[in-house]
Structure 1
Amino acid sequence: MTVEAKHLSRAAFAERIKQCPVAILPMGATEQHGPHLPLGVDIILAEALSKRVAEITGATVLPAMPFGYSWVWRDDPGSVSLESRTLEDVVVQVAESLARHGVRHLFLINGHEANASTMKQAARRLWDHKDVKVWRLFYPDLATVMGEHCESPTWNGIVHACEFETSLMLAVAPELVDMSKAVREYPPADKGYFMGGRPMGELSQSGVFGDATLATAEKGEAMMEIFVQSMCDAVNEICGASE
């Protein structure tokens, strides 16, 4: 049986929510990811994680949010950015809509780091809602998992089109990865970015921040399994505590 809401009739959706009042909204973005990866990396990874978590927990996966806060790539072809407040409003309204149909927990499984603050604000706006809560999930224990499975360091703690994301993509959508175009680039740490407002797109020639050449599907699958288990544990703990 499908776990995706877009494939369900209204009756089938209602039955799933009756059995498990939990929905997952994959949070992605449409933005450049170097010469070797597609624009939809963050969408694809968020959907892959969401489906695996839903298959184990019984939750229902909503159509993915395809746009995020991607201002830093505003000048790169294909990149689309929403204002944070716009995205926040969308999440809140999705949750309010679902609450009318019996959803009690909406989990945001995020594939785009810059969505984090927006997700937090949406969760806070709904914390006092009597019928629905919003919860945020983004690559649990990321630093530890990368330390165990990746060979290259991050660029100042940021992951973008690097060994990490490329490995995950090789695990879930290898047909969309062109490793012949993978590169290694660590742009200089720039005060304009870290202390000012300079977009990341002005820092990198390739759009890669890290070493994509070291990526493998095996690394990606090993990390996916860890993330899925951690997310399932969180869903089960939160939903079990509310029963």
Structure 2
Amino acid sequence: MIIEEMTMPEFEAGLVRTKTVLIPFGATEEHGPHLPLATDTLHATEVGRRLAERRAIFIAPPVPYGVCRSTSGHPGTLSISTATLRLLALDIVSALYAQGLRNFILLTGHAGGTHTSTLIDAGEELLGRFADAKIAVLTEYMLAAREGKAIIETAGDSHAGEIETSRILHSHPHLVRGSAAREFPSFPVGILVRNKRKFWPGGVWGDPTLATADKGRRLEELVVDALERLVENLEGWVE
């Protein structure tokens, strides 16, 4: 049940079927010279829609902005502050709770550490705010990397590499502009730098040349399978 496509009566009827909602968090962020800036948002939204084809679950409108620290200096990246992201998560879940939802999955297609930690922090506050709420926070990339380890050929593949390029080749092939060279960032250990692009010029973390649409299809299926298991676990969760 895709919330932004539903009418008021349809939403009300949906609450009889389920109290579970998935909120896709993404980013508007560079993904090399070959992938769209919406890559992270597309990942989270697509698997949410696929999951909704399998079971009764609400899919909230995606949040297309995130905390993008390492790519903040690359063209096209529109980063927000941790304070903004935290308040967005708190307000969105609170609004959904007021509408009758009780099980919340904050699924982020953007896997930045600061971004993810902010969502976890918001989730912890929400647990204290709503005694009967169940909350899960996880990255879509984590599921893809873990569930698809037998498919992925590139060790340490991450941003705009084999995994993400394969995923977009499958789900949105018309948005892929060729490929890009294998690259890994060279940030100094422990030192915060102003000119981040100097240490990561191409914005790729992995090997896009090994990406295929078939790998993307298989990875997406594995991610949706893992999400379905998570929903079942969350809905039955008792502390």
Provide TM-score, normalisation by structure 1.
Answer: 0.89
1:164 matched to which residue of 2? 163
Q: Identify if the C-alpha distance between structure 1 residues 47 and 143 changes in structure 2 by more than 3 Å, giving closer, same or farther.
A: closer
Say which SS state the counterpart of residue 107 (structure 2) adopts.
strand
State the AA in 1 paired with 2:34.
H
1:34 matched to which residue of 2? 32
CA shift, 1:131, in A, is 4.1
1:116 matched to which residue of 2? 116
In the alignment, the residues of structure 2 paired with residue 105 and residue 206 of structure 1 have an alpha-carbon distance, to the nearest angstrom, of: 39
Gapped regions of structure 1 (runs ≥ 5): none
In the alignment, the residues of structure 2 paired with residue 130 and residue 146 of structure 1 have an alpha-carbon distance, to the nearest angstrom, of: 35
In the alignment, the residues of structure 2 paired with residue 16 and residue 91 of structure 1 have an alpha-carbon distance, to the nearest angstrom, of: 22
1:18 matched to which residue of 2? 16
Gapped regions of structure 2 (runs ≥ 5): none
Question: Number of residues paired by the alignment?
Answer: 233
Taking only the aligned residue pairs, the percentage that are identical comes to 30
CA shift, 1:143, in A, is 4.2
Picking from 122, 147, 150, the partner of 1:145 is 147
CA shift, 1:124, in A, is 0.3
Provide TM-score, normalisation by structure 2.
Answer: 0.91
Say which SS state the counterpart of residue 26 (structure 1) adopts.
strand
Q: Would the aligned equivalents of 1:123 and 1:133 in 2 still touch at CA under 8 Å?
A: no
Counterparts of 1:1-243 in structure 2 under 5 Å?
A: 3-114=1-112, 115-128=115-128, 129-139=130-140, 140-154=142-156, 159-179=158-178, 181-188=179-186, 190-191=187-188, 194-198=189-193, 200-241=196-237
Say which SS state the counterpart of residue 147 (structure 1) adopts.
coil
Q: Would the aligned equivalents of 1:95 and 1:134 in 2 still touch at CA under 8 Å?
A: no
Q: Would the aligned equivalents of 1:99 and 1:131 in 2 still touch at CA under 8 Å?
A: no
Across the aligned residues of Structure 1 and Structure 2, the Cα RMSD in angstroms comes to: 1.7
CA deviations on 1:3-53 (whole Å, 9 max, x unpaired) are 211111112112112210111110100010011001000000110011112
